[in-house]
Amino acid sequence: MKTTTVAIVGASGYSGQELVRLLLRHPQVALTCFTSRQYAGKAVGDVFPRFRGLTDAKFVEPDPDKLNADAVFLALPHGVAAEFAKPLLAKGVKVLDLSADFRLRSAAVYKEFYEHEHPAPELLAQAVYGLPELYRAQIKRAQLIACPGCYPTSVLLGVAPALKHGLIKPASIVASSMSGVSGAGRKAAEDFLFCECNESARAYGIPKHRHLSEIEQEISVMAGQPVVINFIPHLIPLNRGIETTIVADLAAPAGDVLALYRDFYKGEPFVRVTSALPDTKNVAMSNYCDVSVRVDPRTQRLLVSSVIDNLTKGAAGQALQCFNLVCGYDETLGLLA
């Protein structure tokens, strides 16, 4: 099988580092470039000692004109990513964007949630939402993949079977998530110091967290109608992991919902439907999403719990899963174990 040359742009944040970890062990990838404005000129293994011995590469300044790779992963802030994607797409490079820039179909919704004009609205039509469980066929033939946010991945995989089977009332959905602190990114800010996060748990960003925009977009697609819902994120003292609990009113008599979920995800390599309620520790550093469901006969509601590693299935791992699809590799290559 042929090797694909790959560049990581923005390799020093937490998602970027996770890309480095996964791509270094991918058997068909030749990593040609790691960019970091902050660390340009330094060895990757000096800045991040966990990679010492695994690569001799140095960080370079990000420069789209100098990138020479078949595929590029962008782990950049929103707004910046789109600017970077433009010249790469023009050169025919495959782009896997981990930012929010290409996730929304509507530039207006983007502006509403991200509070600036979309930097490249002309590209939105060609972008594919990189959730393989919902868009596998489109991903395979895409050039520009908009990798989903971490929260949306956990919410959408949790509701998809129920929504697609008409089992729940879409507008009744309430999704509540708890995220590890790596979700806040690797930026020096008092709020994310160890002593501020340890022994701390709190809700934030309600009622209109940015990720709500893509959650509602995809729920609306599945529901076949515009839907607004509630999404409530919380910060908890973990490094990695998201647990999402979804509650929704049943729209129809619930039969064996666990069987329905198992059937929906049959053959999916990275979704495990379990009878026991899932735990983030079981998906840490893996690309799995574990899901379980309960029906409450007293309230006639469906309860779903899903867990992912926010940096793997919620970011870099899912991007790599999409990369495998785009390049024609086995979807799980480099992602199991």
Closest CA to 227 of 178, 175, 179: 175
Contact 123, 104 (CB under 8 A): no
Based on the residue annotation, tell me whether 150 is a catalytic residue of this protein.
Answer: yes
CB of 97 to a copy of itself, least distance (A): 23
Catalytic residue selected from 150, 197, 289, 327: 150
Closest CA to 336 of 306, 313, 303, 307: 313
CB-neighbour burial class of residue 171 (10 A; exposed 0-12, middle 13-18, buried 19+): middle
Least Cβ distance, residue 257 to a copy of itself (angstroms) = 12
Tokens for 18?
A: 């996770």
**143 or 172: CB nearest a copy of itself:** 172
Which one, 85 or 223, has the nearer CB to a copy of itself?
Answer: 223
Judged by beta carbon, residue 65 or residue 190, the one nearer a copy of itself is 190
CB of 192 to a copy of itself, least distance (A): 5
Nearer to a copy of itself, 18 or 97 (CB): 18
- CA gap 112, 191 in Å, rounded: 25
Distance CA 11, CA 48 (A): 11
And the tokens for 136?
């596998």
**Beta bridge mates, 250:** 168
| Min CB(281)–a copy of itself separation in Å | 4
Q: Which positions are catalytic?
A: 150
